[in-house]
Amino acid sequence: MTALRELFDLPPEMARLPVDARGYPVPAFVEWIDGKPDFRVIKHGWREECYRKKCCWLCGGFMGKRKWFVLGPMCSVTRTTMEPPSHRLCAEFAVKNCPFLTKPLAKRRDMSDLAEFSPKVDGTMIERNPGVSIIWETLSYKPFSDGRGGWLIEVGDPLNVTAWREGRKATRDELLESVLSGLPNLQEVADREGERAAYELGVTTGQWYLAILDRWFPENAQQEERA
């Protein structure tokens, strides 16, 4: 049996999960293939089960009234995601320890060998590592059709928003750089999907800057360092 490696702020709910060969707990959403967890593949039906049973996306435990979404900056702009919410401590554990989320130069692993498992991504995924993650606390969210036979999640109004980079709180400049560098990718998707999408992009981008950035990330704010 593989022992857990030293990790930052491991919550009890995550500590009870199976452990992979590297010593990381295997989140509840991960599919097991030939007896091994494959983090590239979402367990069949898990998204639907999380929504129906109000389970934490990461640990699988019951969710309370408040929800925490781990989002990329572009998902924060559109307030749209594919992944259901998690507990606060589970979300914070992810942004402090997940190799992809804590290493800005990390790239998504190739999935060409998974054809037989038909890994499906609802909506349109932007293929980049944004370098910054957002934890978005809210009381509500609702699913909607992606128009292609899948479904996505509209994230509710935020109660609190934090930005993270390399396992610590991100600075305002780091967040801004990630948002601005991702907007061309988002615009490309909007242009490809039609005028309505382009209009909604412009509206949500403006709303995000005015209602989120200046409120939650004021200039000259002190940034919390990782313990």
Report pLDDT for 226. Answer: 42
- Which range is least confidently modeled, 57-61, 129-133, 135-139? 129-133
pLDDT greater than 80 at residue 100: yes
Report pLDDT for 183. Answer: 79
pLDDT classification of 108: cutoffs 50, 70, 90: low
Task: Round to whole Å and give the CA distance between 164 and 139.
Answer: 21
Report pLDDT for 227. Answer: 39
User: Pairing mode, if any, of strands 141-145 and 151-155?
Assistant: antiparallel
Strand-pairing partners, residue 168, are 165
Distances (CA, A) of 32 to 22, 43, 117, 141: 15, 8, 11, 28
- Segment 127-132 shows an average pLDDT of 82
Structural tokens at position 9: 């702020």
Ramachandran area for residue 118 (φ above 0: left; ψ -120 to 50: alpha; else beta): left
pLDDT classification of 91: cutoffs 50, 70, 90: very high
- Which range is least confidently modeled, 24-38, 93-107, 130-144, 152-166? 93-107
- Classify each residue of 142-152 as buried b or exposed e, where b means 16 or more C-beta atoms within 10 Å of its C-beta: eeeeeeeeebb
Structural tokens at position 186: 């988002």
What is the DSSP code (8-state) at residue 70? E
- Segment 87-114 shows an average pLDDT of 80
- Classify each residue of 195-215 as buried b or exposed e, where b means 16 or more C-beta atoms within 10 Å of its C-beta: eebbeebeebbeebeeebbee
Query: CA nearest 48: which of 148, 134, 150, 147?
Result: 150
Are the C-beta atoms of 95 and 164 separated by less than 8 Å? Answer: yes
pLDDT classification of 86: cutoffs 50, 70, 90: very high
pLDDT classification of 205: cutoffs 50, 70, 90: low
Q: Which residues contact 111 (CB under 8 A, 6 or more apart)?
A: 40, 119
Structural tokens at position 139: 């009381």
Can you give the pTM of this predicted structure? 0.83
Are the C-beta atoms of 108 and 99 separated by less than 8 Å? Answer: no
Distances (CA, A) of 210 to 185, 204, 207, 217: 21, 10, 5, 11
As a residue count, the chain comes to: 227
